[in-house]
Structure 1
């Protein structure tokens, strides 16, 4: 998006537009991981789920001509990945982290292998809503051309925030996440709840992948993800397992990712590429800031642990 036509306002406008575009995958992956971790399980395999979801969505959209069928297919494959991860992790002395890394590599490898025939064909893109149609400025029109999935992500964050506090399902999820023994005493099967939570988390992560391949950047290739799946895990910790916090933190990550392109759009030709590392630096800062050997994280589910 060219920002030079509106002067200095081009930088914040470009960052705003970029934050919306870049944040959408973070929103869905972090919301999915929030559901999973609220049940007391961590899933580091979401990077593989994200990329496989991107490949699946693009392939089905190419074959069917419908981007929404691609999204649904991605959700189905994400749920399958989550079910496999959850089923393996229910066994005694199985480490969530190790299984997550294995599933990540499996998802990446399978996506690259099955996706090779779909690198060249063009798929239909997901629709967006032109909220800036009232303006005559092309820059403002482009900034306010918002994809439907971003809006759905915001609605989903509000719904999950309400559901965690006000529904029986939310209560069951929180009980299982806080104490396995307490859940069993209440007649709840923790393994089943965590299995379903991991499947739902994987399904939402795959939606983030579908956004990447069907809207922004809107193509399928083996380098489509830049670690969003892994960064989203840090984002969930930063947001303290709060869906609204995840949405806002995703916007923050998206804005950080938009710094480089925004500077480039106003004519900065030297050094702007350093700002492309901003999301990774932010992830590192968050991990350091939230790590402590002496205190637990506020809002962390009690049963959530890196080892069993």
Structure 2
């Protein structure tokens, strides 16, 4: 099947993998972008994502509806976000330390409650056949995308508008840039940050549901591979811009699809090294974008990483 396409099978496989692998990065990074715009960082999104994958799969299995599974995953993500926001609101509590603790809590709870869900089959999310115009099976398969991918793109556009054109976005950015100025204007600091963290948790939960209900489409304890943590680095790379988060998610998705693409065309030696491409890319991006003057350009000034 791959021989019919020749070398075109590799970029086609990377394109298809990019559209599939990028969606969790997109949702987590957009949620974390909102959280960090409020002046708070959440490193616990990896745990939220894993728990969301388990909750989404279990919800879809119990209700028979994958969309109810997505909703359940998002609601559990909100709970994790609210917990993170509440704990970070306490005096002398470090948000990075809380995030790490909640990451371990989320993954531990997911593994504990998810053991009965490894064998049962839950209904999967549908696919949008963007390649229906083609007679080539590989093209049709590569251009199948999840509705969540399209929804993620629309959310990125909506967030860019909210940040730049609405009062909600102005208040969020003010709280993230100067809590004193926001307080002087009469805006509540803690409710804004807790709400932003809850939104970030919701998006991470939905990202987890995508993993278990679409691609790879199953629940297991190794389902994430650190995508929640990579997405936090992705936000810094995107300079806290929602549309840039979309482009960066595609870039990371393409890197994650490189290994399987080479394997699909018969590369049998060394292809597994390309499975590390997203992690290498994360290190390279952080290295080349770091400098004394531009490392945190555009960062909300209330973030703990800027102080």
Deviations 1:145-175 (Å, cap 9, x if unpaired)? 1111001111110110111101111011000
Counterparts of 1:215 and 1:182 in 2: how far apart (Å)?
44
Q: What are the equivalent positions in structure 2 for 1:47-196 lying under 5 Å apart? A: 47-196=46-195
- The residue number in structure 1 matching 2:241 is 242
- The residue number in structure 1 matching 2:230 is 231
User: CA, structure 1 residues 294+164, in 2 after alignment: closer, same or farther (shift >3 Å)?
Assistant: closer
- The residue number in structure 1 matching 2:251 is 252
Counterparts of 1:29 and 1:46 in 2: how far apart (Å)?
7
- The residue number in structure 2 matching 1:31 is 30
User: CA, structure 1 residues 307+158, in 2 after alignment: closer, same or farther (shift >3 Å)?
Assistant: closer
For structure 1, the 5+ residue unaligned runs are none
User: CA, structure 1 residues 307+236, in 2 after alignment: closer, same or farther (shift >3 Å)?
Assistant: closer
Contact 1:235/1:249 (8 A) holds in 2: yes
Q: CA deviation at 1:288?
A: 2.1
Q: What are the equivalent positions in structure 2 for 1:6-21 lying under 5 Å apart? A: 6-21=5-20
Counterparts of 1:124 and 1:305 in 2: how far apart (Å)?
41
User: CA, structure 1 residues 85+139, in 2 after alignment: closer, same or farther (shift >3 Å)?
Assistant: same
Contact 1:23/1:253 (8 A) holds in 2: yes
Give the TM-score, by structure 1 length: 0.97
Counterparts of 1:63 and 1:307 in 2: how far apart (Å)?
44
Question: Which piece of structure 1 moves more, 257-266 or 229-238?
Answer: 257-266
Count the aligned residue pairs: 307
Counterparts of 1:107 and 1:80 in 2: how far apart (Å)?
11
Contact 1:96/1:306 (8 A) holds in 2: no
Matched, 1:304 2:297: no
Counterparts of 1:43 and 1:3 in 2: how far apart (Å)?
42
Deviations 1:271-290 (Å, cap 9, x if unpaired)? 11110000000111122223
Q: CA deviation at 1:296?
A: 5.1
CA RMSD between the two structures: 1.2
Q: CA deviation at 1:205?
A: 0.7
Paired residue secondary structure (2:304) = coil
Paired residue secondary structure (1:306) = helix
Give the TM-score, by structure 2 length: 0.98
For structure 2, the 5+ residue unaligned runs are none
Counterparts of 1:300 and 1:147 in 2: how far apart (Å)?
31
Counterparts of 1:249 and 1:221 in 2: how far apart (Å)?
26
Contact 2:26/2:152 (8 A) holds in 1: yes
Moved over 4 A (4+): 293-296
